[in-house]
Chains A and B, each alone.
Chain A
Amino acid sequence: MAAHSTRNWAGLAFLGFLFVSVAAVSNVEDQVGGFFKSGHTNNWAVLVCTSRFWFNYRHIANTLSVYRSVKRLGIPDSQIILMLADDMACNPRNPRPATVFNNANQHINVYGDDVEVDYRGYEVTVENFIRVLTGRLPPSTPRSKRLLTDDRSNVLVYMTGHGGEGFLKFQDAEEISNVELADAFQQMWQKNRYHELLFMIDTCQAVSMYHKFYSPNVIGIGSAQVGEDSLSHHVDPSIGVYIIDRYTYYLLEFLETVRPDSKKTLADLFRVCPKRVCVSTPGVRTDLFTRDPGSVLITDFFGSVRNVEITTETVTLQRNDTPQTCR
């Protein structure tokens, strides 16, 4: 009888312990919840166009479309790494110098008024790209060319160019394979260089580029399945070449409707450019991602909405007007 009651007490105590620990956890979440709902404090974007030459006008327009959107949604230039051959706006063949348009009607000049290209022309190489991601840059590299992310950074990586199954070509000279890309993301993860990462790629057989990923908290979006080409949208007769790819055209159209305080989620983003307009079939990979994409705001990746806290108390200083030497 005595033994029985002891066991009961032990059971009760255990239950009590469980209750207390559960309460403690939810308390922490409450405390964190209001302030840091998404768990990130800053946003970064790495936008890469891996093509050059006039006939690849559309890839530059793709990258600039995303650049324009993230900048408009609040990521400052200091947190955007733009890798671009940048040979379109001032190309002698461009009938409208210093502009890059996303469509023949010239609705949106994606080149804009201020474009800060961090890696230009022949600097767009696989090596530089991997170095930017992993942070293994020579000490002399200026701050604007570094990806200074931390464990609370959400990173958007957008790439476009000519690719095939498992690789993306860099300026006709070299290529990056999906294994190298996956390893680079793993190296970022190991050093706490991102909190969540959205990888988006507009190229032929795009989804093959995210197949090899194995690092946590990564979402992959590709414009075409393996075996499919990613197609361009339309030709501008005055320019004479295709001026934008279908996927990015509809992506830009979608992002133009997003405002910094918009409540649109990643689930809306996944529906951009269905097969009927895209011709290719966009793919999504979310198995490495822990949150529900339907509850993740677009602006968690494409914008930068900071967490703020109103200050309630301050330190008290004694007035000290005696002049002192400045350090």
Chain B
Amino acid sequence: MAASGPKRESRKTLQEEEETATQVYATLGVALVVVVIGVPLWWKTTEVYRATLPYADIGQLKDAQVTYKVGVEFVLPLQTQPQDLLDWREQVDQHLGTGTAYSPISPHYDIKVRTTNKEERTVINQQGSMEALDLQLTELHPPGVGSCTVYLLGKDSSLEALAYIGRHRTAFIKSSGDVSRDVRISAHLVRSYFVNDERLKTTFTSATGAQHDKENIAKEQMQAFKTNTGYEVTFSLLNPDPSVLDVRWDMEAATASYLNPFLDRLANIAEFQVFSQVLYYTDLSVRPTRDERTASYYLTPDQLPHTINPVEAKLGSHVSTYPSVHFLVYIPERGHSPLYIHNEEGLESETNAFFSPRWGGMKIVNVDSPPKNASLPLAVTLDLLPVMETFLSHLRLLLGVAQLPADPSIVVEPADNAAITDWEYDHLLRVRTVENVATATATLASLSQLLGEIGNIVINDDIARQVYLAVDAIREAQHHLGAGELTAAFQASKAAILSSEKAFFDPSLLELLYFPEDQKFAIYIPLFLPMSVPVLMSVFQAYRWYKKQQNQTKEEGKPTKKEGKEGMKESKKDETGQEDDNSSAEKKKSPKGKKQSRKER
């Protein structure tokens, strides 16, 4: 009995051992499935998809210095001494050099100095008007878009002022005999008029995002619309009292004669949609003051802002998403006629018009009140020439055509009916290109920063594609600017801004629902707890079993070593145990061996 008891017991434990082993393997299997298949699957399915974006390229673009090339040609009279020619060259280089100071945007002047050729001399010697001279020389030798030519005229020329800037891309300077003076004036013409470095610089820096930097606020920039691919121009005639005056205007003809030449010239830059409407019974909500002396009425500058708002609601809704430009012609009602706008000094404004930045303009047109016995309403047709003159000057401001400082010594030929000269157009094109490049770069930089800040926004492949397109287009625009190819640069910058805006405003780029950490916990607990508790428990048990086994092998190893030292007594008793274990695997031997060695002790 004493012998069979332990034997049965050991067989029982053997069975248990086997069961435990199977359990352990099963546990390991389940844990393996959880770790190898479950976790990656869960990770993959809950992951926020984010396409790779060229973060490094965007960072590079942000820090890249933009240079624009301007071709400038100085043409001196034939009789200039070779030494003077050299001096000219040297001093012009000095004046138009960019210096060493770092600037995110800087010009690169491609300077040529030469003397007049034969054809030019014949034209210059004709002694015609400056306008004719300008035209003829331009026809003879047309400077490319974005470049300019400066002619130095002899002392005997018909030019009265110091300098003259034509309608095209040519300027003339009357020689004073002093090279450094002439150079200074011509460099000033190029820098401040043709190219307008300063404005390009402020435009660039403010568009890159330093928008609330007070020093960078340029009035021109706040007046003009930001760069856009199109504009909706609406002309409205406000007639508050149609029962007295039946005012008509032939807007269609006026648009064709006066507005279209300007818009056609800018067709490359933006698309324009022109509308006109007549609004009846729409009056200003402010009360004009009566001026007894002249029997007229006037509005003070303080009142002007309040004239727009009440009217604006009636101007109609807009069809396109282009910014709308409004031009209003107001015909004062009989009781308040004639109506004038007074400026800050209390004087009548000559134009009787005012302008509101990024919105449009308004002009008050006084028409003669109907005579006493006239049959009402009296039909009146407006003369639209002065109206269009005012509104075109407003439109120039709104689109960002440069306003130049008045300088009596420099005569600037005003534009013809196109309302914009060639060099003004070049400048506008350059400003818009620079602004587009800066805005597109800033948009991409903001996008990449945002996506870094807000982790749970999905970035799909289409957005990534637009971003890559924008990066390429910005590079192309910068390249063209550097090479002086203005039109190509503008087109590339337009593509850049379209792609970058499209990427930024893509409707799919919406932040996923935000869950605070504790809510995430609350969602996962009911899902994962019932499953993970048994798995974790059995993994823990498997670990304990393994640990136990480890100890066993250690202890089994130790006694065998001890055996030799401690003597025969122990080894003899061990034999019985070893006989039982003959068939079983070595692993199972060890726990039993341990039991027995314990018994002995």
Where the two chains meet, the residues of A that have a C-beta atom closer than 8 Å to any C-beta of B are 25, 28-29, 31-32, 35-36, 39, 41-42, 74-78, 127, 130-131, 134-138, 143-144, 146, 148, 150-152, 166, 177, 179-180, 183-184, 186-187, 190-192, 195, 216-217, 260-261, 290, 304-327
Contact = CB atoms under 8 A, between A and B. Distances in A.
Contact of A32 (B217, B358, B419, B509): B217
Contacts of A183: 453-454, 511, 514
A311 B355 contact: yes
Given A308-B355, A309-B354, A314-B390, 14 more contacts: A32-B222, A36-B219, A131-B507, A143-B319, A183-B511, A305-B305, A308-B308, A308-B354, A309-B223, A309-B357, A311-B349, A311-B353, A317-B385, A321-B257
B506 interface: yes
B222 A36 contact: yes
Contact of A318 (B253, B393, B416): B416
A316 B354 CA distance: 17
A315 B356 contact: no
B597 to A, nearest CB: 64
B58 interface: no
Contacts of B358: 41-42, 150, 152
Nearest to A189: B446
Interface string B41-61: 000000000000000000000
Given A191-B446, A260-B309, A324-B253, A314 B392 contact: yes
8 contacts: A41-B357, A78-B312, A180-B514, A307-B357, A314-B353, A315-B392, A317-B258, A317-B385
B270 interface: no
Contact of B317 (A78, A150, A180): A78
A186 B511 CA distance: 12
A305 B304 CA distance: 10
B2 to A, nearest CB: 75
Contacts of B357: 36, 41, 307, 309
B381 to A, nearest CB: 13
Contact of B214 (A28, A131, A138, A143): A28
Contacts of A28: 214-215, 217
B256 A327 contact: yes
B373 interface: no
B255 interface: yes
A137 B506 CA distance: 8
Contacts of A312: 349-351
Given A186-B453, A312-B349, A325-B256, A130 B511 contact: yes
Contacts of B320: 143
Contacts of A315: 389, 392-393, 396, 414-415, 419
Interface in B226-259: 226, 252-253, 255-258
A94 B209 CA distance: 51
B302 interface: yes
B385 A152 contact: no
A300 B313 CA distance: 19
B214 to A, nearest CB: 6
B260 interface: yes
B224 to A, nearest CB: 11
B557 interface: no
Given A41-B358, A325-B256, A316 B389 contact: yes
Nearest to A75: B309
Contacts of B450: 186-187, 190
A74 B309 CA distance: 5
A20 B52 CA distance: 48
A306 B354 CA distance: 12
B212 interface: yes
B309 A306 contact: yes
Nearest to B303: A261
B343 interface: yes
B504 interface: yes
B201 interface: no
Contacts of A77: 313
Contacts of A307: 305, 356-357
A78 to B, nearest CB: 7
Contacts of B449: 190
